[in-house]
Amino acid sequence: MAALSAAGAVLGLIALFLYLIPAFTRFKDVDQVRFGAPAQMLSIGYTIGYILLLLGFISIILAAITKAIPLILATMVIIVIGGLLLLIGVIGLIIGTFRLKDMIHDSLFTVAGILLIIGIFISYVTFVAWIIIFIASTQAMSKLTQTYANTAVYS
């Protein structure tokens, strides 16, 4: 189970920072009203949230080694804030997937959004949501590329 969680975390981070955040930033440039808030929530929530969690976990290990109780308590606050920011990032992703469904008309984005909501409470479901987001995104890119190619041929 730990290996599956670690694999999901690594795939999620790669998808987030190499593909999803840049994609939502581009969607925001195309449609500020629909994708402005989700792009900002996704970018700020995940980026700052992961940084705070990483710093928090490193600090808590150091604090535990040195037995500095006040530092442990302060670090726990940092970890909680990082977790809340990650939740904001997840909420931005959920909103974004529902809006992608409206824009691209692919119900897989809705399924992924629902699974992400469930994944807030049952973390293993998130792994399936990421796979569905990948499949839906690949299909959407294929449709958009085909539509663009057909438009270029006939114009």
Q: What is the pLDDT of residue 24?
A: 83
Are the C-beta atoms of residues 80 and 49 closer than 8 Å to each other?
no
Q: Given a cut of 60, is residue 73 above it in pLDDT?
A: yes
φ, ψ at 122 (rounded to 5°): -125, 95
Structural domain includes residue 33: yes
Q: Which of 3-12, 30-39, 56-65, 121-130 has the lowest mean pLDDT?
A: 3-12
Q: What is the pLDDT of residue 57?
A: 85
Tokens matching residue 1: 């189970």
CA pair distance 137, 141, nearest whole angstrom: 6
Structural domain includes residue 38: yes
- As a whole number, mean pLDDT of residues 108-126 equals 92
- As a whole number, mean pLDDT of residues 88-110 equals 91
CA pair distance 148, 131, nearest whole angstrom: 26
Structural domain includes residue 78: no
Structural domain includes residue 32: yes
CA pair distance 11, 119, nearest whole angstrom: 16
Nearest residue to 4 via CA among 128, 134, 138, 137: 128
Enclosing domain of residue 111? 2-49+88-154
Q: What is the pLDDT of residue 108?
A: 92
Structural domain includes residue 138: yes
pLDDT, tens digit, 9 for 90 and up, residues 76-98: 899 999 999 999 999 999 999 99
Q: What is the pLDDT of residue 21?
A: 82
Tokens matching residue 139: 């299909």
Q: Given a cut of 60, is residue 20 above it in pLDDT?
A: yes
Q: How many domains does the chain have?
A: 1
Structural domain includes residue 131: yes
Most confident of 9-13, 39-43, 64-68: 39-43
pLDDT confidence band for 149 (50 / 70 / 90): low
Q: What is the pLDDT of residue 72?
A: 83
Structural domain includes residue 72: no
Q: What is the pLDDT of residue 114?
A: 96
**Between 45 and 139, residue with greater pLDDT:** 45
Structural domain includes residue 133: yes
Q: What is the pLDDT of residue 71?
A: 83
